[in-house]
Amino acid sequence: MIILFGIIFIFGAIIGSFLNVCIYRIPREESIVYPPSSCTTCKNVIKGYDLVPIISYLFLKGKCRYCGEKVSIRYPIIEFTTGILFVITFIKFGISLDFAKYIVLISLLVVVSMIDLDTTDVYFSTTLTGIISSAIFLGIYLYMDIPIGSYIYGGVIGGGLLSLIILITKGGMGWGDAEICLVCGLFLGLKLTIIMLFLSFIIGSVIGLLLILSGKKSKKDYIPFGPFIAIAAIVTIFVGERIWVLYTSLIF
């Protein structure tokens, strides 16, 4: 089993390396498949042996082989985090359709949230990818005679509620946040979407308050909400069902 965990982790780290490319290139409107990765300073093409997730960063001591320019530690962190998240997803769901579905959603959330942190924008190309991906999984569900109504309702409630908040607050959140919630709803279904929305507001409020109290942000500063949605969605994937049981037991 440990060997299998290792394989899943390596797979996740490789995907994480690709996600780093997406995070860097999508805001610059560059192709995510061509040209090959290169140093942003000296422009030398990075060889395959220098693209091994995590290990290459450690071996090169976080610097470009050619010009010595420092490489952001964020790259190996994203690779490592993606690997760990893939392993946790495998532990919970095993090799299953849910495993495939949720590692796709997690990958999308990593890209969307990091780009939102960098640019305060959510690019439609990323959420469109999420919508198309969810449609593929819903199509598989239909083929397997699994009801998809809950997922449709999840998308409607997720995207609809955020859209309503945007209209009421007149720009308190961005339309990209509504798109993210729409995608998450289509992946999670109605019940888990409710949990995700609840958690995202709690996480956003707590972290926002801490940033203001620490002086890193003021009340007038814009704080991207996308990362909070992403964190909430990932937490929901792993413990959402337990939260729902706890919530309903307290209510009923």
Is the domain of 104 the same as that of 217?
yes
Last residue of a domain, one of 95, 122, 153: 95
Please, which residues have CB within 8 angstroms of residue 211's CB and are 6 or more apart in sequence?
217, 223
One-letter amino acid identity for 31? S
The Cα 83–Cα 85 span in angstroms is 6
| Domain limits for position 48 | 1-95
Is the domain of 63 the same as that of 173?
no
Is the domain of 143 the same as that of 241?
yes
Q: Quick check: 232 and 200 in contact, CB under 8 A?
A: yes
Last residue of a domain, one of 66, 95, 124: 95
Q: Quick check: 15 and 92 in contact, CB under 8 A?
A: no
Last residue of a domain, one of 73, 95, 117: 95
Is the domain of 58 the same as that of 137?
no
How many structural domains comprise the chain? 2
The Cα 99–Cα 174 span in angstroms is 30
Is the domain of 100 the same as that of 220?
yes
Is the domain of 50 the same as that of 152?
no
Is the domain of 44 the same as that of 20?
yes
Q: What is the pLDDT of residue 46?
A: 85
Q: What's this model's pTM, rounded to 2 decimal places? A: 0.93
Is the domain of 242 the same as that of 132?
yes
Is the domain of 82 the same as that of 153?
no
List per-block mean pLDDT (blocks of 10 residues) for the chain, which spans 252 residues.
93 97 94 85 84 91 87 95 98 96 98 95 94 97 96 96 88 85 97 96 92 80 90 97 86 72
Dihedral angle, C-alpha 133, 136, 138, 140, nearest 10 °: -140
Which of helix, strand or coil describes residue 45? strand
Is the domain of 204 the same as that of 191?
yes
For residue 227, what is the enclosing H or E element? helix 226-251
Is the domain of 90 the same as that of 100?
no
Is the domain of 212 the same as that of 162?
yes
Q: What is the pLDDT of residue 172?
A: 67
Q: What is the pLDDT of residue 235?
A: 98
| pLDDT tens digit sequence for 161-206 | 999 988 888 766 788 999 999 999 999 999 999 999 999 999 999 9
